[in-house]
Amino acid sequence: MYMTQCLQRTLQQNPDHLATVFGERRQTYRQFGERVARLAGALQCLGMAAGDRVGMLALNSDRYLEYVMGVWWGGGVLNPVNIRWSVPEIVYSLDDCSTGILIVDEHFAALAEGIRATARQAPLFIYAGEGDVPAGMLGYEHLLVECAPVDDAGRGGDELACIMYTGGTTGFPKGVMQSHLNLWSACMPRMVDMPPVRGGRLLHVAPLFHVAGMARALIQFLAGETHVLMPSFDAEGVLKIIEREQITETLLVPTMILALLAHPDFDRYDLRSLKRLTYGASPSAGEMVEQVLARLPDIELSHSYGLTEACPVVSSNLPLNHTPEARKSGLSRSVGRGGLGVNVKIVDPQGHEVPRGAVGEIIVRGPNIMLGYWNKPEETANALRDGWLYTGDAAWMDEQGYLFVVDRLKDMIVSGGENIYSAEVENVLARHPAVALSAVIGIPHETWGEAVHAVVVLKPGAEVDEEQLRRYCRQFIAGYKCPKSIEFRDALPLSAAGKVLKRELRQ
Q: What is the pTM for the complete model shown? A: 0.87
Question: Which residues lie closer than 8 Å to 347 by C-beta, 6 or more apart?
Answer: 353, 354, 360, 361, 363
Q: Quote the radius of gyration of the chain (alpha carbons, Å).
A: 23
DSSP state of 277: E
List every span in the chain annotated with CATH 3.30.300.30.
412-506
pLDDT of residue 169: 38
Spatial separation of the C-alpha atoms in residues 79 and 206, rounded to whole Å: 17
Q: Which residues of 428-453 are buried (b: 16+ CB within 10 A; e: fewer)?
A: bbbebebbbbbbbbbeeeeebebbbb
Quote the CATH superfamily of domain 185-408: ANL, N-terminal domain (3.40.50.12780)
DSSP state of 123: P
List every span in the chain annotated with CATH 3.40.50.980.
5-156
Cα angle for residues 376, 379, 385 (degrees, 5° grid) = 125
List every span in the chain annotated with CATH 3.40.50.12780.
185-408
Amino acid residing at 155: R
Q: What does CATH list as the number for 5-156?
A: 3.40.50.980
Which pLDDT tens digits describe the chain residue by residue (507 residues)? Answer: 899 999 999 999 999 999 999 999 999 999 999 999 999 999 999 999 999 999 999 999 999 999 999 999 999 999 999 998 889 889 999 999 999 999 999 999 999 999 999 999 999 999 999 999 999 999 999 999 999 999 999 999 999 999 999 854 345 789 999 999 999 999 998 899 888 889 999 999 999 999 999 999 999 999 999 999 999 999 999 999 999 999 999 999 888 898 899 999 999 999 999 999 999 866 556 678 889 999 999 999 999 899 999 999 999 999 999 988 888 888 888 999 998 999 999 999 999 999 999 999 999 999 999 999 999 999 999 999 999 999 998 899 999 999 998 877 778 787 876 778 888 899 889 999 999 999 999 998 877 888 999 999 999 999 999 999 999 999 988 888 999 999 999 999 988 777 788 889 988
Q: Domain 412-506 is in which class?
A: alpha beta
